[in-house]
Chain A
Amino acid sequence: MPSRADSMSLNASAPLIAILKDPGSARRLSDDNWSELIASARAANLLGLLAVRLRQANIPLPRPPRRHLDAVAQLSERQCQSVRWEIHCLQRALGSLRVPVVLLKGAAYAMSDHPVSHGRLFGDIDILVPREAIGDVELRLMIAGWTSGKSDAYDQRYYRQWMHELPPMVNVRRGTVLDVHHTILPLTSRHAPDARPIIEAARPLDGFTSIRVPRAEHLLIHSIVHLLHDGELPNGLRDLFDIDGLIRAGTRAPDFWQRVEAAATELGLAAPTALGLTLALQLIGSPVPPETIERLHLRAGKASSPLLHWLYRQALRPDNEVERDVGARIARSVIYLRAHWLRMPAHLLARHLLYKSAARLRKTEGSAAGAA
C-alpha cells in the first residue's frame, strides 16, 4: 500500500476487499495503512461491516482506528433500533387493512436479525404491498403521519404512472423516509416481474400480524436486480457485500441454489440474477456454484454480455476511486443510461431526461454551508 493518500492507487478498495474476506491480514497493517483502510471503507459505506469482521476475528486494534470502528458499529446498532421502532409504527398504521406488508432490503435484514444487518447502516425503509392495496396503504399511512415527499406534479405522475413505487413518503414527526413498492421493478421496465410470488411466499414476523420478510432466495434476487437496475451506484460495493452475505447465509440450506434458480425463472429475472451472481463471484469471491450460473443463462436463453461485466467491474468501485478514474466515470454514465433504458421505453426516457435537465437548469445554486 502506498504511504500517503494522494498516491492512493486507483484500486484502493483492493486492500479493503482483501481484509473483509480475510480479517486476519489486518494484523500486519501499519498506522498509515489503517488510515487508508478506514477512509476507503467509509467511502464504500463498508466501515460497519469492517468493524464487525475485525471484531469477530478478534483482531487487536490500535486505539485511533478502533474509535472509528467502534463508533460506526454503535451507530449501526442505533439505526437497527430505529428501524425496529419504525416497523412497529408501520404495523400499527397498516394492521387494520389485513394486507401483507413485506419488508425489503435493510428493513428485512434488520427485522430478521440477518447477518447482513450487522454493522450495516440503514437509509430509507422499503416495503412491498399488493398492487391492489396501494391506495388504502397510502391513505392509512397519511392518517398515521406520513406525507408525500415529492410535491411537484411531474414527480407525482412519474412515480404513479411509470414507477414501481409511490413517491417517497416522509414521516412528519420523525423525518424518516418510507418507500412503498407494489412490485420490485418499474412498471414500464423491460423485465417487469409480478411481485405476487414474493408476497405470497414471505414469512410472517413473530409478534406482527401484517409484517412479513421475503424468503432467502427472494431477498437475494431483489438485492441483485436492485443493484443492476438502479442507475446510481454510490453503494455498489456495499450492495455487493450484501449479496455476498445473503449468499453465505442462504447456502446453509441444502436446496438454496435450486430455489434461487426456480425463483429467478418464475420472476423472469434469470439473466440479471446470473449477472449479479457472476459479479459477486468474480469481484469478491462469493461461493456461487458455476452450474447455477450456467443453468440461469440457459433459462434466460443467452449468456450475459462481456461488455456489461466490464462496465460493472469498473463502476462498482467506491466513489473516491471512481472520481479519479476516467474509465470508471464513463462506465458509471453508461450504467446510468442503461438503467433508465431498462426502466422505460425510449420515447418516455427521452421525455423524462429532457424534463429533468431543464429542471436542473432552472434550479439555482444553494448557498455555502459552514457548520457550527
Chain B
Amino acid sequence: MVLALKNYFINIKKAFVSIFEGLAVTLSYLARKPITIQYPDRIPTPVQEMLPSTYRGVLEVDMKICTGCLACMKRCPIDIIRVDTFRDTETKKNYITRFDIDIAKCMFCGLCTEVCPTGSIRHSTEFEASSANIINMVLQYVEYGDKVPFYKPVKDQEPVSIPQNEAFRKVHKAWNAPAPIDPEKVRGQVRWKSDQSAEDKS
C-alpha cells in the first residue's frame, strides 16, 4: 500500500521533471538561428557555387578533350549515353558525330566519369535541369550536323579543360523551350551514314 502510494507520487514527480526539461529544450530553440536556406532568392551566393566540385550533378562533356573511346557508353548501367563516331576514310580522321546524354533517365551514379581517360565527361554542380518537354532532357553535346575530331592525348601533358559547369550551360535550354520540331533528330534511330558505326550495347 505504502509502495503504491510512493510510486504514485514518484510518477507525478517524474512526469513533471521530464516535461519541464523537454519544454526547456524547445523553448531554447526559439532563440537559435534556423538552419533553413531560403533558396533560391534569399541566399547570397547561388547554390551551384556552394557545392563542392566533386558533387555529382548533371553530366557535362568537354568535347575538346573527348578521345572517342566509348568507355562511358559501355560503362553506363542504363544506356543513356549515345555516342556516334565516324571515320572519314579519305583523311583517315575520326570524328564524333553525336554525343547525347539522356538526363531524364540518368541516376547520377558517376560510373561513366570514372572510366573517362581524360576527364572530359564529368559532373557539373548544376542540378536545375528540368524541362517542360522530355525531349529537351536529352542534352546534345555535339550539335546536329556537327562533327568533332577525336582528341589525341599528348604524352606527359594533362588535358586542359574548360571550367566546370560551362559545357552544361552552353547546351542546356531553358525549361520552357519548345521541343525540337523534328524529334528524330534527338531520339530514335537517326544515325549518320558511316563506315564504322558506333558499337551498340548488347
Say whether A associates with B.
no
